[in-house]
Amino acid sequence: MRTDFETLQVQSPEFHILVVTLNRPAASNALNTQMGLDMLELFGGFYVDQQDIRCIILTGAGSKAFCAGGDLKQRNDMTEESWQNQHAVFEKMTLAMADCPIPIIAALNGAAFGGGLEMALSADFIYAARSARLAQTETRLGIMPGAGGTQNLPRACGVRRAKEIIFTGEPFTAEQGFEWGIVNRVCDDEMLMQEALATARKIAGNASIAVRQAKKSIGIATQTDLKTGYSFEIEAYNRMVPTEDRLEGVRAFNEKRKPDFKGR
């Protein structure tokens, strides 16, 4: 796995856990073309090889912003062709995050506006600092969410709330995000990463094959009818029966010890 990205800081503070930091603090970690390419390479690579990473935390550099959205300075005076070419990168980045088999926790350390909120919504769930502010501001710029916002937001908070958020472009607090189902946990600012790491540690301690299969099955749940989704769940379940981790989990339970999962 490459770690020398221009716009990302990639670190492994603990075994099986990766922290990915959007690293353009002077620009409020705004999403530019290079960041889209870096994110696409990193998350696209995990689709092929998880490299024994069992949980990813996505956060932003500094305390001001997680990601302020698309870099409007770069987009100023872009031709239609250039704009659409850039957006194609963002589209592939969004799909790469959605297809990443490793659980992703978005840790919002500050503002998550526009594409920044969409990036967070592409994660599996969100922890937010108490001071964080969130918004889908695209309609104020003559555009609309285009990195999954109109799909992921209503799935998180319901259609009517999503319409209000997108149509008005008004920012809302982390506490409101929690009340509406967008944010899983609101953390004191200084505790955000500690709490995200604690949860990542729990995920990483579980059987990685089981977690990946469960993630796939949950992803199908909103895409199809109940019976078809359950058929997928059964197929995902049956793939775990012959694994070493399944044997280890049951053996550890009976021996009253912590299981040592190998991802096999």
Residues designated catalytic: 118, 138
How buried is residue 2: exposed, middle or buried, by Cβ count under 10 Å (0-12/13-18/19+)?
A: exposed
The tokens describing 71, both together, are 């870099």
- For the beta carbon of residue 264, count every other beta carbon within 10 angstroms: 10
Element (H, E) at 75: helix 72-75
149 close to 167: Cβ distance less than 8 angstroms: no
Q: What is the DSSP letter of 31?
A: B
The DSSP bridge pattern shows strands 133-135 and 111-113 to be: parallel
- For the beta carbon of residue 159, count every other beta carbon within 10 angstroms: 10
